[in-house]
């Protein structure tokens, strides 16, 4: 962001939130690739110069929205928890929030979002997987990426909504993952 050294006051925070909300509103009717700065500014009722005062680009804004969503999700700190909902990967947890669901459903952004999740969650999840399985760092990273991609795909299939079929699928997949952890730890 261009204004990293600038003091953040309430007006700045408010304007940034208006811009983020405008992006999320536009994602309800179009993909991220179809959104232009001019259109976003019209939706947010701001000028282009105001947009560029706060963000370098639409991608800079997108990163901030994804990072905000990831910060809102509760952290899972124990892979041994038996409650299936506590084991849900972060993609489902922030997909649960209706505010971010359209972002998660934008197929053009899937890999980008997964990459941001990997960046934020790897440092926490890889050591947990290593402890649970006995794998080395590289192997645990591979397993983490595999689980995250699979979870994202399954949750997309359910439109990031927890219904009875999602619950059944999640429980089955959790049993599969847990059996894999147990097998690897032997």
Give me the percent of the chain exceeding a pLDDT of 90: 43
51 or 131, which is more confident?
51
Predicted local distance difference test score (pLDDT) of residue 6: 55
Q: With helix as H, strand as E and coil as C, how does the chain read?
A: CCCCCCCCCHHHHHHHHHHHHHHHHHCCCCCHHHCCHHHHHHHHCCCHHHHHHHCCCHHHHHHHHHHHHHHHCCCCCCCCCCCHHHHCCHHHHHHCCHHHHHHHHCHHHHHHHHHHHHHHHHHHHHHHHHHHHCCCHHHHHHHHHHHHHHHHHHHHHCCCCCCHHHHHHHHHHHHHHHHHHHHHHC
> Could you report the per-residue pLDDT of 19-43, keeping only the tens digit for each?
999 999 999 999 999 999 999 999 9
Give me the percent of the chain exceeding a pLDDT of 70: 83
Cα 87 to chain centroid, rounded: 15
Query: Looking at the predicted structure, is the pLDDT value of residue 185 above 60?
Result: yes
Query: Looking at the predicted structure, is the pLDDT value of residue 56 above 80?
Result: yes
Q: What mean pLDDT is predicted for residues 121-129?
A: 89
**pTM > 0.85:** no
Predicted local distance difference test score (pLDDT) of residue 11: 92
Q: Write down the domain spans for the chain.
A: 10-65, 73-185
Predicted local distance difference test score (pLDDT) of residue 26: 97
For the structural domain made of 10-65, what CATH number should be given? 1.10.10.60
């Amino acid at each position: 962001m261009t204004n990293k050294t600038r003091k953040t006051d309430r007006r700045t925070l408010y304007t940034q939130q208006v811009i983020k909300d405008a992006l999320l509103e536009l994602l309800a009717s179009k993909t991220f690739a179809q959104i232009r700065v001019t259109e976003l500014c019209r939706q947010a009722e701001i000028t282009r110069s105001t947009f560029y005062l706060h963000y370098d680009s639409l991608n800079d804004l997108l990163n901030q929205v994804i990072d905000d969503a990831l910060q809102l999700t509760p952290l899972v700190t124990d892979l041994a928890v038996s409650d299936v909902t506590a084991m849900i990967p972060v993609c489902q947890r922030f997909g649960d929030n209706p505010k971010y669901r359209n972002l998660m459903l934008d197929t053009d952004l899937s890999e980008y979002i997964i990459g941001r999740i990997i960046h934020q969650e790897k440092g926490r999840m890889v050591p947990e997987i290593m402890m649970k399985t006995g794998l080395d760092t590289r192997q645990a990273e591979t397993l983490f990426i595999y689980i995250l991609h699979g979870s994202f795909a399954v949750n997309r299939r359910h439109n990031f909504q927890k219904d009875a079929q999602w619950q059944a699928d999640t429980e089955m997949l959790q049993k599969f993952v847990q059996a894999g952890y147990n097998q690897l730890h032997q």
